[in-house]
Amino acid sequence: MSLDDFKNKKVVILGFGREGQDTFKFLRKLFPTKRIGVADVRYKIQDTRYKIQNIRWHLGKNYLKALKNYDVIIKSPGIPFKILPKSALGKIITQTDIFFDNCKGRIIGITGTKGKSTTASMIYQVLKAGGIKVHLVGNIGKPVLSSLLKAKAEDVFVYELSSHQLYNLKKSPQIAVFLNIYPEHLDYYKNFKEYTNAKANISRYQTPNNYLVYNSRDKIIKEIARKSPAKKIPIKGKYYELNKEASRAVGRIFKIPAQTIERTIKNFKYLPHRLELVGTFKGITFYNDALATIPEATIAAINALGDRAETIILGGFDRNIDFKKLAERVLQSKIKNIIFFPTTGEKIWKSIVRQNMKKKTFNHFFVNNMRDAVKLAYQYTKKGKICLLSTASASFSIFKDYKEKGELFKRYAREYGHSKKIQ
């Protein structure tokens, strides 16, 4: 949909969080006097900027009923398609659609269940070091529409793409990077197949002049790659190596010298909450892996830390994920202390108990706040060992998000680490 097409259309923004507000600002720049609809179940009109704008509000529990009165619905990623009326589905577009339809520059799209942000950031740094006019946009960078009006043909946009952003997309990026795929967001999608189909849009509409950098050890991704007409660049590597391999591959596409690529990767500063070393306090080393919201990420963290990992904090919001493989890995490890958050904590513990054929013993605890979790970690973890926060579950049961969870973990690890007594 071209930007001119919005001029004579009745437009509503569905969801007025960070992305929805960015969409509003973008449309207001294009059409200063146009009346724009806003539909949101939770949003309250607090910001005076929006009170004086020409907006038609549709707020509260009946917010979806107004959709039938609009020609175009710009949907935010957090709103699942499955809750929307069928009559609205043909009118829905997203920020990603708008960007892909109107961007004059080249787009590098990065997706995968885990590792998107790190990989996008690393590719951005590699291209920047190589003298490319590059921009980091999307979840990890600037809002995409704020970059669109300034975009030129020589610009390159590194765009982290979630399954929600890819779901309804009818165009693929000129360079696609597909890292991995595991069951996640099963509360949002009908099943894993629908989630996989959404991810597959990153390469579904590519052309023979495009590139697809993909994880050749993942059977599902290999099958998706097989169907893409793009030039294929397979990459291999363990969980924490894929971001480097993808960055090298993209760097080579842009003919950046190998020395520049390797120097940039070596000096890359990893993002917080991703197997982040918090520090060693009272002889115990703390690692914050708050973004590990699926079992595969937690398994990778246990593998990376090895036998020194003695205490682990698990559990959170239930997205209908199976924890059998995680339970198997915990039983194979040297972990002795397990601290569980609701609600998946009980589910994970039951899975461990079911598979514990050798009757391995654990100190296990159920808590509902981070303070108690870290306090127990100090009481039961031996000096020289590791306490790992890697919950294998989303954060929303008792935390706002993974950032709040990780920051609280770091805060209490440091507080108790510098106090004489743990109370």
Q: Can you say whether residue 111 is alpha, beta or left, with left for phi > 0 and alpha for psi between -120 and 50 degrees?
A: beta
What pLDDT was estimated at residue 423?
Answer: 60
Q: Which residues contact 188 (CB under 8 A, 6 or more apart)?
A: 80, 82, 164, 195
Distance CA 406, CA 274 (A): 9
Q: Which residues have a Cβ under 8 Å from the Cβ of 268 and sit 6 or more positions away?
A: 121, 122, 125
Question: In the chain, where are the structural domains located?
Answer: 9-93, 96-266, 276-418
Query: Can you read off the two tokens belonging to residue 26?
Result: 């973008």
The answer to whether 377 and 408 have CB atoms below 8 angstroms apart is no
Within 8 A by CB and 6+ apart from 352, the residues are 327, 330, 331, 338, 362
Cis ω before 119 (30° cut-off from 0):
no
What CATH number is given for 276-418 in this structure? 3.90.190.20
- According to the model, what pLDDT value does residue 188 have? 79
Q: What is the mean pLDDT of each run of 10 residues along the chain (423 residues)?
A: 92 92 93 94 75 87 94 92 90 95 96 94 98 91 84 96 92 97 83 94 97 97 96 91 96 98 95 94 97 95 96 95 96 98 97 96 97 98 98 93 97 91 66
Reported CATH class of domain 96-266: alpha beta
Q: According to the model, what pLDDT value does residue 82 have?
A: 86
Q: How far separated are the first and last CA of the chain, in Å rounded?
A: 59
Q: CA 214 to CA 234: how far, in whole Å?
A: 5
Please give the CATH architecture assigned to the domain spanning 9-93: 3-Layer(aba) Sandwich (3.40)
Burial label for 237, CB within 10 Å (0-12, 13-18, 19+), is middle
